């Protein structure tokens, strides 16, 4: 049963970390629906690491260019790199000061369902506004700092379970007239520092807590890492392809169905 739980949670993490359907919401609901015991900090950290590696692998060229741009003013990516760093501050501060409170107070199924519905409406408006932008070209290197910071502030809201980090940053990109595919790629690039910070925080918390959290063997954790990594790669490719072809609409429908199911089976 442990192995099945790890594989299912790895698939959920890999898919929902990147698809605009709320990873936190799914990881809250999975134990309730499937009657799993809490997976613990070790598995949480490992699954998070798997999806982080998938971003590094898929966007390795972009991320290397942006990282080098932090230290080289002559590179075209220099301004973009520092804008991404600055735009990561709102989510970082909110997570630092309110992360624990959000984890303990806002993880109820009802809150997740309500947030799924509210932000589905926002995503629909963004998707509609982006319908005429598919043939336009967006150069991230020329994106104004204020617009990047606006997407960064939107990213901070994703700490609320049921929102979706990828969904809200893509929506913010569409609202500022980015090409949908460009908005999606930028969502991944902007999210990398936050995903990295969240993963390191979970890993540090796990290492520093001296309670009996080692409920999984190293082999189990390796399986979880591999599953979340491979599924994460698939999810990145899927999101880019779906957004390019039809936009966010399929994910909006899924979010509404999921929210309705939550309210039906977990009312109050």
158-181, pLDDT tens digit by residue?
Answer: 999 999 999 999 999 999 999 999
pLDDT at residue 147, rounded to an integer: 92
DSSP 192-211: HHHHHHHHHHHHHHHHH--S
Measured at the alpha carbon of residue 90, what is the angle toward residues 14 and 209, in degrees to the nearest 5?
60
- 3-state class (DSSP) for residue 129: helix
Please write the tens of the pLDDT for every residue from 52-77: 999 999 999 999 999 999 999 888 89
pLDDT at position 42 over 80? no
Q: What is the pTM of this model?
A: 0.90
What is the pLDDT confidence band of residue 39, given thresholds at 50, 70 and 90? low
Question: And the tokens for 139?
Answer: 């150069």
| Contact call for residues 204 and 29 (beta carbons, < 8 A) | no
Percentage of the chain exceeding pLDDT 90: 56
- Please report the pLDDT score of residue 212 as a whole number: 47
- Residues 206-224: tens digit of each pLDDT: 666 645 445 678 888 899 9
How many CB atoms are located within 10 Å of the residue 216 CB? 20
Query: Does 137 have pLDDT greater than 70?
Result: yes
User: What does each C-alpha distance from 63 to 69, 79, 231, 243, 253 come to in angstroms?
Assistant: 10, 14, 20, 21, 32
């Amino acid at each position: 049963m442990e192995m099945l739980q790890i594989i299912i949670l790895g698939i959920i993490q890999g898919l929902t970390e990147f698809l605009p359907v709320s990873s936190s919401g799914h990881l809250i609901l999975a134990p309730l629906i499937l009657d799993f015991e809490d997976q613990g900090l070790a598995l949480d950290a490992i699954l998070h690491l798997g999806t982080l590696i998938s971003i590094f692998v898929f966007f390795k060229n972009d991320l290397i260019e942006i990282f080098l741009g932090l230290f080289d003013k002559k590179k075209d990516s220099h301004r973009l790199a520092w804008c991404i760093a600055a735009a990561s501050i709102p989510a970082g501060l909110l997570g630092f000061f309110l992360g624990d409170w959000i984890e303990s107070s806002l993880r109820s199924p009802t809150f997740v369902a309500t947030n799924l519905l509210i932000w589905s409406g926002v995503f629909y408006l963004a998707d509609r506004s982006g319908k005429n932008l598919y043939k336009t070209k967006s150069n991230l290197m020329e994106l104004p700092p204020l617009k990047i910071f606006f997407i960064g502030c939107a990213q901070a809201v994703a700490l609320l379970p049921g929102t979706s980090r990828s969904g809200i940053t893509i929506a913010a990109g569409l609202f500022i007239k980015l090409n949908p595919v460009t908005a999606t790629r930028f969502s991944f690039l902007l999210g990398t520092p936050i995903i990295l910070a969240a993963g390191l925080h979970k890993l540090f918390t796990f290492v520093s807590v001296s309670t009996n959290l080692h409920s999984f063997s190293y082999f189990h954790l390796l399986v979880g890492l591999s599953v979340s990594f491979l599924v994460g790669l698939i999810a990145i490719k899927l999101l880019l392809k779906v957004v390019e072809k039809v936009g966010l609409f399929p994910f909006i429908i899924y979010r509404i169905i999921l929210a309705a199911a939550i309210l039906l089976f977990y009312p109050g």
